[in-house]
Amino acid sequence: MRAAVIDRHGPPQCITLRELPVPTPGPDEVLVRVAFGSVNHVDTFVRSGAWRTPLAFPFVVGRDAVGTVVEAGDAAAAEFRAGDEVWTSSLGYDGRDGALAELVRVPRARLYRCPAGLPASELVALAHPASTAWLALFRHGHLRAGMRVLVVGGGGNVGWSAVHLAVAAGAVVVTTCGTDDAFDLDRAGATPVDRAARLDRSTLGGAVDLVVDTAGRNDLEAYLDVLAPGGRVVLLAGMATRASFPVGALYLNAATVTGFAISQASVEDLALAARHVVDAVERTGLRPRRLSSVPLELVADAHARLERGEVRGKVVVAVAAHHPPAPRTTPTEGARAVPT
């Protein structure tokens, strides 16, 4: 099978397309034929070594995959059968090979069923950002209906999902964005604020109960100034940021500042987020924006463009686009065809 792999940490050019043996699923694993993967910022951190995580070379890159079950191990067979359409968003770190290969093995607990009616390319584009947004808002931000929420960076992939999820939960949402994103975010139910504007209570229409920074701005002085008593700030971007921390404003206001990386989320939290992502797709009309697609051969180029800041929206990887389909077989009476 073809796979996008690295043999060492380094620049995007370290990624090469290579033939690897087809992995054999263990008893609690599922073998999936990948249709689409994606490219995330965290994938570039793993590849470069900026974020160290256990991995073995040659290492398949990528975190997200949408595809079809080929085979399930004995312990997973009761839950997944050949032909099931499935997705995952937590490969490619912590000792697990990545998603950008024609065939991948996925632990049963990290595999979820696809919602009906959403193309695979759109689902894989939502997998990582929408799961991240849900956990930031609800697991770490304790979002409830009626709260006022500031989403910093509503025009980005995580921010776009966060706006939809917060609005659907009954929150009043204000979001910073560029002028070209304001119309879409207003239609999504948020109040857009120019990202260059000074963040104060008059600009935001009052204090907020929760700030979720998806853009890595990490302006803690401004966030704590606009936070209502007992409010929360959740930071989930900006690895190189060095923020000024107003300690007095923190403790005098009984505020909480939490750092969150989805790579540290438990299997149970990821599964919970996945259920809510599927619900948001089916109930709120959440869809990704500005999709671009590349073949498996151009994953290195996609990493390079992402690191240079040239990508707006989401890059998905058409893993199976240039691979001929398996020949169709006719099963005998009472038998079930199994894709290979």
Bridge-based pairing of strands 2-6 and 16-19 is antiparallel
Non-local (6+) Cβ contacts of 228 within 8 A are 148, 207, 208, 209
Which among 76, 32, 41 has a CA at the least distance from the CA of 61?
A: 41
Q: What is the pLDDT of residue 322?
A: 53
Q: What is the pLDDT of residue 329?
A: 34
CB 68 within 8 A of CB 35: yes
Indicate whether this model's pTM tops 0.85: yes
Q: Which ranges of 150-266 does DSSP label H, i.e. alpha helix?
A: 157-168, 179-187, 201-204, 220-226, 247-252
* Ranges of CATH 3.40.50.720 domains, the chain: 129-263
Please tell me the distance from the alpha carbon of residue 176 to that of residue 153, in angstroms, as a whole number.
5
* Ranges of CATH 3.90.180.10 domains, the chain: 2-118+288-318
Q: What is the pLDDT of residue 324?
A: 43
Maximum alpha-carbon separation in the chain: 74
pLDDT tens, position by position, for the chain (340 residues)?
999 999 999 999 999 999 999 999 999 999 999 999 999 999 999 999 999 999 999 999 999 999 999 999 999 999 999 999 999 999 999 999 999 999 999 999 999 999 988 999 999 999 999 999 999 999 999 999 999 999 999 999 999 999 999 999 999 999 999 999 999 999 999 999 999 999 999 999 999 999 999 999 999 999 999 999 999 999 998 877 787 888 888 888 889 999 999 999 999 999 999 999 999 888 888 999 999 999 999 999 999 999 999 999 999 999 986 544 333 333 333 333 333 2
Q: What is the pLDDT of residue 238?
A: 81
Please tell me the distance from the alpha carbon of residue 152 to that of residue 214, in angstroms, as a whole number.
6
Please tell me the distance from the alpha carbon of residue 103 to that of residue 24, in angstroms, as a whole number.
10
Please tell me the distance from the alpha carbon of residue 208 to that of residue 63, in angstroms, as a whole number.
33
Please tell me the CATH superfamily of domain 2-118+288-318, with its number: Medium-chain alcohol dehydrogenases, catalytic domain (3.90.180.10)
Q: What is the pLDDT of residue 321?
A: 63
Q: Reduced to 3 states, what is the DSSP secondary structure of residue 46?
A: helix
Structural class in CATH, domain 129-263: alpha beta
Q: What is the pLDDT of residue 246?
A: 86
Task: Taking each helix axis as running N to C, give the angle between helix 267-284 and helix 157-168, from 0 to 180 degrees, rounded to the nearest 10.
Answer: 70
The length of the chain is: 340
